[in-house]
Amino acid sequence: MDVLGALNLGDIAQTFSKMGMFPVFDLAYYIVSILYLKYEPGSVEVSRRSPVASWLSAMLYCFGSYILADVLLGGSPLDYFQYNSHVLLASAVWYLLFFCPLNLFYKCVAFLPVKLVLVALKEVVRTRKIAAGVHHAFHAYHHGFFIMVIVGYVKGSGVALISNFEQLLRGVWRPDTNEIMNMSFPTKASLYGAILFTLQETQWIPIAKSTLILLFTLFMITCKVVMTARHSHGSPFSLIESWVCHLLFGSPLGGAVEDH
């Protein structure tokens, strides 16, 4: 019975990890990403005054992770733009979100139940990206543990890591903060995920990759959906982090447990 259960889980994980992301999951990813762009103060005015800058920002929100990972591995930052259908889909989402009459598309996708589904689908893509990033780096550098973690991290975090420069494109400059100094939950989770997938890839964790993908996806979906539903910016890691940082870096206890 137990063996059968394990087998079934493995089967489900296998099927799940082979599922294609385009177009449904990618579409959700684009919608949620550009939705967050629209939440940024000033972004609607920019889209009116300079559609090109707004479109470029939207592309960074959708493809920032690919651009960054390609740059870090020495490739062309435009490499992903060869997939015309992806770029066209993201452009259509950008157009609908910013210029749809009566703001109809925005109102649909920002409606909480719809948004929760989209957020859940986005996390599926994020986990896949982390796994693919680590795998890509593993192929280039078989023993480059740090490279695997960094590339996986970057694939998961995407535009957040270059938000200073993305904002600059829209005429906003906030040098006193950045995503590395104040990591949000998805960025932190991407870092921990990248470490997990690196350990899996280099066989320090005795688990199948498809299973890890399934488990990490479920964890991410649960966290993000709950956080989005409750409008929370807290992090499920804060308690552990607070203790680890206290032990390792002498940070004051409870300093990381902030807004909820």
Cα–Cα distance, 223 to 4 (Å, whole number): 29
Centre a 10 Å sphere on the Cβ of residue 26 and count the other Cβ atoms it contains. Answer: 21
Cβ 117 to a copy of itself, closest distance in Å? 29
# of chain residues touching a copy of itself (CB under 8 A): 55
The answer to whether the CB of 179 falls within 8 A of the CB of 159 is no
Cβ 128 to a copy of itself, closest distance in Å? 21
Nearest Cα neighbor of 186 from 229, 216, 147, 208 is 216
How many residues does the structure list for the chain? 260
Q: Which of residues 62-101 bind a copy of itself (CB under 8 A)?
A: 70-79, 81-82, 84, 87, 98-99
Q: Mask: binding to a copy of itself, 29-58, rule CB under 8 A, as x and -?
A: -----------------xxxxxxxx--x--
Select the span of 28-36, 107-115, 128-136, 146-154 touching a copy of itself (CB under 8 A). 146-154
Alpha-carbon torsion angle 182, 63, 148, 226, nearest 10: 50
Q: Does 237 bind a copy of itself (CB under 8 A)?
A: no
User: At residue 142, what are phi and psi to the nearest 5 degrees?
Assistant: -60, -30
Residue numbers of the site for a copy of itself (CB under 8 A)? 46-53, 56, 70-79, 81-82, 84, 87, 98-99, 140-141, 143-147, 150-151, 164, 168-173, 175-178, 180-183, 191, 245, 248-251
